[in-house]
Amino acid sequence: MLEKITQRIESFISEIGNPRIKALSSRITSGKMLRSKLVLAICPNHPDVVDLCAIIEMIQSASLLHDDVIDESYIRRGNPSVNAVFGNKNSIMLGDVFYSKAFFELTKMDNRIAKSISNAVVELSRGEIDDVFMGEEFNTDKGKYFEMLQDKTASLISASAESAAILANLNHQKYKAYGSNLGVAFQIIDDLLDVTQESMTLGKPSMNDFKEGKTTLPYIYLYEALPKDEKKILISYFKQDKPEIRTWLKERFEKYHIISLVQSEAKRYANLAISSIKDENNKTLEEIVQNMINREF
């Protein structure tokens, strides 16, 4: 089924009828397709399901094409990013093509789905702006971090689950809550893997967030745990990337049990996701939560 979605994306792109767009988009590798897996787990048999997944994946790709330019990231999913190979202009323009074609297709869907997905794109753009501006200084405010993450990551995951529930005539509020909590847990795990995994496993550089100016949950918890003088040292290291700083950070993550603290927070959201749909009897959705928590990249 995931293969069918990839093919639908290709056919949407072919419809635009421009060989340059085709060539550029052939460089995009599909990721885990978490959002499609959710949709398929909620309404596997609806005739519009492949279109809905293709639309969502194209919006997700558009946001990453823009994000890699904004973050100046040159590796995506283990390969050189589109901006690394073809430059920023092409990455932005290709993102625009993906985004607008997806929206054109979205207008053919149930109005409630169009509203849910388009509103999620407003939220994820708002989240990206907050993420960038929060990068100006070390952020010690957990509330702000969660708000940004709800927008940047959870919004589209939540809208995907909600839209699938609308297609399947299910209680869409429950699925929206499921997606929202799963999305928060997903990003917390992403932020955790950034500090625990090697770049080979991640398919992108490791310990990159701090260098990029992202004060993710591991760093906020570390700040809270450190004695006063070391809090100052941590702030002074913000956005730097030296081997001795990595060692300093790793030693303290271990000393203050930061990894397990962050894991517990992700699990708390994972449990909230599962309890949001507890009466829905959908084992696949529960498995998606478990696999997401246990993932290594």
Under 8 Å between Cβ of 144 and 22: no
Of 20-28, 55-63, 105-113, 244-252, which segment contacts ligand FPP by CB under 6 A? 55-63
Give residue 258's Cα distance to chain centre.
22
Can you tell me which of 13, 33, 62, 195 binds ligand FPP, judged by CB under 6 A?
Answer: 62
Binding mask 115-144 for ligand FPP (x = CB under 6 A): ------x--xx--x----------------
Under 8 Å between Cβ of 177 and 170: no
66 lies in the site for ligand FPP, by CB under 6 A: yes
Under 8 Å between Cβ of 241 and 142: no
145 lies in the site for ligand FPP, by CB under 6 A: no
63 lies in the site for ligand FPP, by CB under 6 A: yes
Q: Pick between residue 57 and residue 71 the one whose CB is nearest to Mg ion.
A: 71
Sequence-separated (6 or more) residues with CB below 8 Å from residue 185: 266, 267, 269, 270, 273, 289, 292, 293
List residues near Mg ion by CB under 5 A.
Answer: 67, 71
Q: Pick between residue 101 and residue 152 the one whose CB is nearest to ligand FPP.
A: 152
Q: Report the alpha-carbon distance of residue 179 to residue 174 in Å, rounded.
A: 9
Can you tell me which of 49, 50, 71, 177 binds ligand FPP, judged by CB under 6 A?
Answer: 71
Can you tell me which of 67, 123, 265, 286 binds ligand FPP, judged by CB under 6 A?
Answer: 67
| DSSP string across 85-140 | HH-HHHHHHHHHHHHHHHHHHHTTS-HHHHHHHHHHHHHHHHHHHHHHHHTTS---
Residues that bind ligand FPP (CB under 6 A): 59, 62-63, 66-67, 70-71, 73, 99, 121, 124-125, 128, 152-153
